[in-house]
Amino acid sequence: MHRPPLPHPPRGPRRPAGTTARTATIALVTGAALTLTGAAAPAAAETDHPHRPRIHFTPAQNWMNDPNGLIHHDGVYHLYFQYNPEGDRWGNMSWGHATSTDLLTWEEQPLALPYTDDEHVFSGGIVFDEHNTSGLGTAENPPLVALYTSAYTGASERPGIQAQSAAYSLDGGYTWERYDGNPVLDIGSGEFRDPKVFWYEEGGYWVMATVVATEHTVHFHRSDDLLEWEFLSDFGPAHADGGVWEVPDLFELPVDGDPDDTRWVLIVNLNPGSVAGGSGAQYFVGDFDGTAFTPERLVETGPPDGEVFAGFEDGYGGWEVVNDLDGLGGEGPFGTEPAAGTLDGQHPVTGYEGERLLNSFVGGDAPRGHATSPEFTIDRDFVNLLVGGGHHPRTGGGGHASVDLVVDGEVVRTATGQDSESLDWVSWNVADLVGHTARLRVEDDATGGWGHVLLDHVMFSDDPVPGLADYDWLDWGRDYYAAVSYNDTPDDARVTMAWMNNWQYAQDTPTSPWRGAMALPRQLELETVDGRPQLVQNPVDQLESVYGDPVYERDRAPVHARGLDLPPAEPGQAYQIELTLRPGRAGEIGLRVHEGADQATVVGYDTAAQELFLDRTASGNTGLHPAFPSRSTVPLPLTDGALRLRVVVDTSSVEVFADGGRATLTDLVFPDPDATGISVRADGGTGSVEDVVIRPLGPDPNGAAE
């Protein structure tokens, strides 16, 4: 995203000289208490911050978000990015710039496209105009052309408008000149952004994908010269649309490596409303005929047949509503009757059924209260309900805003919003509670931003509503957003970069003097999984160039509740662990990294749920935002009773690549610097691990060459 989420209410510099690379020097060890060792950390790490990553790009200072303009040109990978040259929070959007020859070791370059008084520079892409179709270069020196979003300010002739503009470079992408005929595409919208452009070989023209963010549509345009654009078609809304759509990308890939059998992949990032909460990236697989994209698979949405328990069309009925717990003197947060949609001072509320809903924004976010339903007997396997509003889960602390199912005085199921005024379906499996007497209780105990709850159309059904987990996601963790791919990579490899953050708490992450990091670059392939083409993702092969020698290897070991300790890491060391988990009789088995006396990040498997999870609820500093403590999950059946994992651990992140890249989870973590332990534990029985290999990773990507 290119602006932070709106609260409720109301409605460059070069890298410092003297930075050196980190060189990993390690020895093979076998003892369980030995450490991963390395040479002295780079100057940036010694004087900077313990959470500065070792193998992930960060700017030397200031704010960074989306990757932009990804292109490989003349042997150099260019990474442009959303950047604030004047501070470590979002604002003054410009394009920063870094270059690399290996996608891992980066040199920060001068600011590429600075903001001006009348234009902020939002996201976009870059193409090599080899045949000078734009006329912005020459036949002898064809240009690189950037298509980016001009976010026009109040000082411009187009205040509040977002339109697509062009800039060009004649020196390989190091300096840029804005096209004097900008904008090149303006539809008069304030939510039209994020152009990604490619050459459509079969038709012999350029294609641009953009979004109209709030309409949840991707627009396709064509051009012969990159400067005049003609509308082709649009796609959407489809699948996840609980937040704005952003940063689209469209590309072709072979299926199972067969060049004669290809599909087109459309990536659509959205915020909020992802499968893990907040920001995320979904994708569709289908066909592009030069005009329109047609997906092969669309999941039907909407509830199954059932009994509507609460629709709020005729008032609160038998609900007990308690307002104004703090004596503020108003009728908030629920009012005297259900809301007829959007309330004063609230962003537009969408996704509810009928004319009314429970909306605890009466009086704004400050009032506290609760609403409790009449008793009912659970006689169906599922409770399906529409939920929206703020993301303040009961486990997050700081005052929750949630919808809870209460049985015998205990909360047995709970749901919260995603910092969105768009309601989305939640399904609770209550088969184990059939026959019990229950109540629904809506708690609004949150008083800050997004401190409210939306609820509508509570249904008792025999089946769940198709939900976010039924869609295809690039990553199932909390911190993988604005994913977009490189143009013109060697061997036509499809390589993506993404911002390793989440808009729910991005401006609160405890780092300085920088804020923002990129996830590891990934290579994407399409493989047939469960009878249909799906993306498989793994770190680019270049990661092997920074491998140290293995420091721990073990063929097989049993795992009990007391755990199996592995060698702890040296403070500040990045490392990779490869291992196979066999749950056996265990209900849960997990790898624990960044482990200290009272903290750890857990990569584990829940046998009953058949889910891989990444749990950072006790990962160190989790109090930076109520939404930060989390446990993300991805459905993933075992293969022959086992699950192969590749886990990349940096100073402030954990990235999980499971089952050969069929599932990925990415989370930021902020552990104590001395939380360096590594172990495997099993609960509810005995499991085992196999083929364990641990190796350090370096050099530091933010330094100079070795």
Catalytic residues: 66
Closest CA to 431 of 459, 457, 404, 463: 463
Closest CA to 698 of 13, 27, 56: 56
Amino acid at 5: P
Between the two ends of the chain, the Cα-to-Cα distance in Å is 35
Phi, psi of 382 (to 5 degrees): -135, 140
Give, in order, the Cα–Cα distances in Å from 144 to each of 41, 76, 112, 126: 37, 13, 13, 7
The answer to whether 278 and 480 are in contact (CB under 8 A) is no
Closest CA to 67 of 95, 93, 41, 103: 95
The answer to whether 438 and 375 are in contact (CB under 8 A) is yes
Look at the block and give the residue holding tokens 């049985």.
407
Look at the block and give the residue holding tokens 């008069």.
188
Phi, psi of 303 (to 5 degrees): -80, 155
As a whole number of angstroms, the distance between CA 526 and CA 283 comes to 12
Phi, psi of 274 (to 5 degrees): -80, 170
As a whole number of angstroms, the distance between CA 601 and CA 134 comes to 51
Amino acid at 341: G
Looking only at the bridges linking them, the beta strands covering 62-73 and 514-515 are parallel
Residues facing 207 on adjacent strands:
198, 222
As a whole number of angstroms, the distance between CA 128 and CA 168 comes to 10
In order, the DSSP letters of 469-537 are GGS-BS--SSS-EEEEE-BS-GGG-EEEEEE---TTTGGG---SSEE--BPPPEEEEEEEETTEEEEEE
Query: What is the H or E stretch that residue 253 is in?
Result: strand 244-255
Looking only at the bridges linking them, the beta strands covering 611-615 and 631-635 are antiparallel
As a whole number of angstroms, the distance between CA 442 and CA 416 comes to 10
Amino acid at 104: L
Give, in order, the Cα–Cα distances in Å from 46 to each of 9, 571, 596: 41, 11, 22
The answer to whether 652 and 511 are in contact (CB under 8 A) is yes
What secondary structure letter does DSSP report for 392? B
The answer to whether 478 and 630 are in contact (CB under 8 A) is yes
Determine the distance from the C-alpha atom of residue 207 to the mean position of all C-alpha atoms in its chain, rounded to a whole number: 26
The answer to whether 161 and 189 are in contact (CB under 8 A) is yes
